[in-house]
Every structure is written in C-alpha cells, then in structure tokens.
C-alpha cells in the first residue's frame, strides 16, 4: 500500500521497513528544540530534518520567515536519505502535524505522491506502545528522485494580488485567532491579517488527541467555509508558510484537493509597508 495523506501508528509499525521516515519536530521560538527532541528519543530509523536548515531556503524578507528551499538541494537531501520515486515517505512531529506538514507539501512540490503524515504524531506512536530509539539511523543507500511535475500550486505575492481581483479567490489563514485578529504581536513586527482573509486555525482540523478529524467531518466543515467556491479558489497561508500546509492537507484528506498555497504568508506580505493590513475578526 501507499499513503498520500495520513498513515496511522499501526500502519506505520507494519510498513516501517519499507518507509523513509523523517522527524520534523520544531519550535518556532527555539529552533534547536526539534533536534534535541530527536536526540532524546525518536521513532526507530527516523532521520531528522530541520525546518530552518533543511526545509527552508536562504533568508529573504519578501519571501517570509521560512522561504522555500532550493528545489534541487531538497531533492538531493531526500534522495540521500534513501528516498526513491516509489518509496513511501512518512513525516511526523509532536504538534499534530503543524510542522511535519511542511515536508508533506515539499515532497509533493517535488512531484512525490507517496508521502504521508503520521496521524497523531509521535504521541500516537508512543500511546500504541511502539518502541523508541536514541540511535541515528544507519547510512542509507541513496535513492533516485526523478524530475516530475509538481503536485501543488504555489503563488508568489504578485500572483496572490492578481488572484484577489478575480472575485472568486478566498484566502484562508491557519494562524491562531489571536494572531489573525492582531491581538498577539509576538511573532511579527506587524500584527493583523491580509484584508479579505478568513481564519481557520489549524487546530480545527484535529481531534482532542491530536489526530485529524474524520474525512467526512472535515469535508462538511470545509464545504461550509467554501460557501459555494471550488477548492481551487482557496489560497492557504499562515505566518511564514509552515502551518498553512496543515489546511492544505486537511482539504486533501477531505476529498477537496486543489487549494493553492501562498508560501511567503503573513511575514512576506508585511515586508512591504505599503501593503494593506486588517485587524479584528
């Protein structure tokens, strides 16, 4: 079997020898926390990739706090872990997929369809009683990732602004309500949201135990939010292009594929002080 959205802890336990597994744990306020957590204990055979160092590119304020990595460099890093065209990639974190969703999207950006998020993350693995390890995985035989068409649609700022003039597109912001409304100023020098955006915090995709809600529940919620729009009319964004991927995955899981992603997100939008800012609900 191949998984393209979620994989359960039980499914991973049975298929782990056929997977390339990547730990994506990260804290936005402590960039080294993820590596420390991986060193303290991880799912056996899991490699660690850093959101800042491996899954983001060279700093450029116009591209947000987490610019996309160089495409070919990323392809090489994943191939070095043993990933090939037909290999299952599994990604996980300890925040319900908020961080690992970045690599889920990036793999699809490279055209790799067989990538799934561990539903419930490392906590689900531990609750199920599966083992942990502190050993680094053995060096992998390099895989081969072909150049293939992307599976995601990304927008730059000019494309976003053009889309907002078409009368159909709708921005959905995945940040917590306090940041969307402009009440929390801790992450960015300007608080608020892109005018016209609506807020669906990524936490709304999850059950209390950190697993995703059932697909049919997500579909109902998204269709209510879409209000008659098509999935491809939706533009996902967040603070820096990391957590917006959670909503992208949520729609895919709900059977509503095709929404687009604005990677610079809020931090890229406010890099130009002439762009408008909204506050409140």
Contacts of 21 (CB under 8 A, 6+ apart): 12, 43, 45, 46, 47, 90, 91, 92
User: Of residues 19, 238, 248, 249, which has the active-site annotation?
Assistant: 238
End-to-end CA distance of the chain: 43
- Residue 238 known to be catalytic: yes
Catalytic positions: 238
């Amino acid at each position: 079997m191949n998984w393209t959205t979620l994989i359960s802890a039980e499914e991973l336990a049975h298929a782990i020898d056929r997977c390339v597994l990547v730990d994506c744990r990260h804290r936005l306020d402590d960039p080294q926390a993820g590596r420390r957590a991986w060193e303290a204990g991880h799912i056996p055979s899991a490699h660690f990739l850093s959101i800042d160092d491996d899954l983001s590119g060279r700093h450029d304020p116009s591209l947000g706090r987490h610019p996309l990595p160089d495409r070919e460099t990323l392809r090489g890093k994943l191939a070095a872990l043993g990933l090939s065209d037909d290999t299952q990639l599994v990604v996980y974190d300890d925040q319900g997929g908020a961080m690992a969703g970045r690599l889920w999207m990036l793999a699809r950006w490279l055209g790799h369809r067989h990538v799934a998020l561990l539903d419930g993350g490392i906590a689900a693995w531990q609750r199920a009683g599966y083992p942990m390890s502190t050993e680094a995985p053995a060096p992998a035989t390099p895989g081969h990732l072909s150049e293939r068409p992307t599976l995601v649609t990304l927008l730059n700022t000019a494309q976003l602004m053009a889309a907002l003039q078409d009368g159909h597109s709708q921005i959905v912001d995945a940040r917590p309500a306090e940041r969307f409304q402009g009440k929390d100023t801790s992450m960015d020098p300007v608080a608020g949201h892109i005018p016209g955006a609506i807020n669906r915090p990524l936490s709304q995709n999850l059950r209390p135990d950190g697993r995703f809600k059932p697909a049919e529940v997500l579909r109902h919620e998204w269709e209510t939010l879409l209000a008659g729009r098509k999935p491809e009319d939706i533009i996902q964004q967040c603070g820096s292009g990391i957590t917006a991927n959670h909503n992208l995955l949520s729609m895919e899981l709900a059977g509503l594929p095709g929404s687009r992603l604005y990677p610079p997100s809020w931090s890229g939008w406010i890099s130009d002080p002439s762009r408008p800012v909204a506050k409140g609900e």
